[in-house]
Amino acid sequence: EAGVAQSPRYKIIEKRQSVAFWCNPISGHATLYWYQQILGQGPKLLIQFQNNGVVDDSQLPKDRFSAERLKGVDSTLKIQPAKLEDSAVYLCASSHPGQHTGELFFGEGSRLTVL
Amino acid sequence: SQQGEEDPQALSIQEGENATMNCSYKTSINNLQWYRQNSGRGLVHLILIRSNEREKHSGRLRVTLDTSKKSSSLLITASRAADTASYFCATDAGGFKTIFGAGTRLFVKA
């Protein structure tokens, strides 16, 4: 079974530039999550999708961050314009709502450095 | 906001020793999970314990849950150098989203 795919793995940009991250979840997983993990901290949930719909985006900085999930499969997370404090690893995860284990499957992450 | 807090923040032990890390949380939960993260990688699920369970085992892992104290512990027995990683507890705040703590960084010396 293929895992969660993310790209790019690394991205370096200057502040005020824009960046986009892509995620392809495990086939059949209806729930998709984007987490932000700053160095030395735990992952912080940015947004959670159930199929096409947003379940929770309470901690997404909506003035600069946006996310969409096309056709309930792939997802893109965009930052525009980027700030220095956005330097972090952006983790995508997916889960199957019918799976009662509650287990999240994570991708390898996209590491963003803002200069 | 972080729901869970791990303790200690960092732990260094010798290979063969046991490693214990603790997690405290603030609100009622349905389940609690533990994940491992190797440096530069994504998180990997280790074990889930439900609120009506008190103890669970998986290989060299033992997890306990005390809902009256809102705390959990993860014990790794006979640790190996390959166990060097960060360990996170995660709770289902609100029943539909998974919130992670700040993690415990474990270093196992060969």
- Residue A98 is predicted with a pLDDT of 64
Q: What is the dihedral of CA B54, B5, A32, A82, to 10 degrees?
A: 180
Residues 6 or more apart whose CB falls under 8 angstroms from that of A36 comprise A43, A44, A46, A88, A89, A90, A91
C-beta contacts of B22-28 below 8 A and 24+ residues apart? B22/B71, B22/B72, B22/B73, B22/B74, B23/B71, B23/B72, B23/B73, B23/B74, B23/B89, B23/B101, B24/B69, B24/B70, B24/B71, B25/B70, B25/B71, B25/B72, B25/B89, B25/B91, B25/B101, B26/B70, B27/B3, B27/B91, B27/B93, B28/B67
pLDDT at position A1: 66
Q: Is residue B50 within 8 angstroms of chain A, CB to CB?
A: no
pLDDT of residue B97: 82
Q: pLDDT value at position A101?
A: 53
**Structural contact between residues B87 and B74, judged by C-beta atoms closer than 8 angstroms:** yes
Dihedral (Cα; B13, B21, A44, B67), 10-degree rounding: 180
Q: What six digits make up the tokens of A52?
A: 């096409």
Any A CB within 8 A of B100 CB:
yes
- Ranges under pLDDT 50 in chain B: 1
Centroid of chain to Cα B50: 14
Nearest by CB: A108 against B42, B100, B101: B42
Omega before residue A43 within 30° of 0, cis:
no
Q: Write down the pLDDT at residue B1.
A: 45
pLDDT at position A71: 85
The reply to whether residue B100 touches residue A104, judged by beta carbons under 8 angstroms, is no
Residues of B within 8 A of A105 (CB-CB) are 45
pLDDT tens across the length of chain A (115 residues) = 689 999 999 999 999 999 999 999 999 999 999 999 999 999 999 999 988 899 899 999 999 999 999 888 999 999 999 999 999 999 999 998 765 557 999 999 999 999 9
- Quote the mean pLDDT of chain B: 92
Distance from CA of B68 to the nearest CA of A (A): 22
B47 touches chain A (CB under 8 A): no
Please list, in sequence order, all residues whose beta carbon lies within 8 angstroms of the beta carbon of residue B96, skipping any fewer than 6 positions away. Answer: A48, A55, A56
Cβ pair A33:B2 closer than 8 A = no
CA distance B67 to chain A (A): 18
Distance from CA of B91 to the nearest CA of A (A): 10
Nearest CB to B45: which of A41, A104, A109? A104
Q: What is the pLDDT of residue B95?
A: 62
